[in-house]
Amino acid sequence: MNESRINRINELYHKSKAEGLTAAEKEEQAKLRAQYLADIRANIRGQLDHIDVVNADGTVENLGEKIRKEKSQKHVSGN
């Protein structure tokens, strides 16, 4: 996310505290926040894909793959 979008998120936050937001501004704020969170999640996923851990039994496991596998197992089991 670029600096101008982050600045806009902050502007909308401060305006919401000072005087309130219009419906259009609330919608814009929600979209910007959702994009910001999506960018953070993608960044963390990318970092996890570059981290390997050595288990007690000596096997090497990539954290990104491990988390995706656990998440898909939870999704399949319905938890």
Q: Give 64 or 10, the one with higher predicted confidence.
A: 10
Whether residue 49 has pLDDT greater than 80:
yes
Residue 25 buriedness (CB in 10 A; 0-12 / 13-18 / 19+): middle
Q: What pLDDT score was predicted for residue 75?
A: 75
Q: What confidence score (pLDDT) does residue 76 get?
A: 78
The strand pair at 52-54 and 60-62 is best described as antiparallel
Residue ranges per structural domain of the chain = 1-48, 53-79
State the chain's mean pLDDT as an integer: 92
Residue 72: pLDDT over 90? no
In which residue are the tokens 């979008």 written? 5
Structure token digits, residue 44:
């963390």
Which residues have C-beta within 8 Å of that of residue 67, sequence separation ≥ 6? Answer: 48
Structure pTM? 0.70
61: amino acid identity, one letter: E
Q: What is the CATH number of domain 1-48?
A: 1.10.287.540
The residue ranges of DSSP E strands in 1-79, in sequence order, are 52-54, 60-62
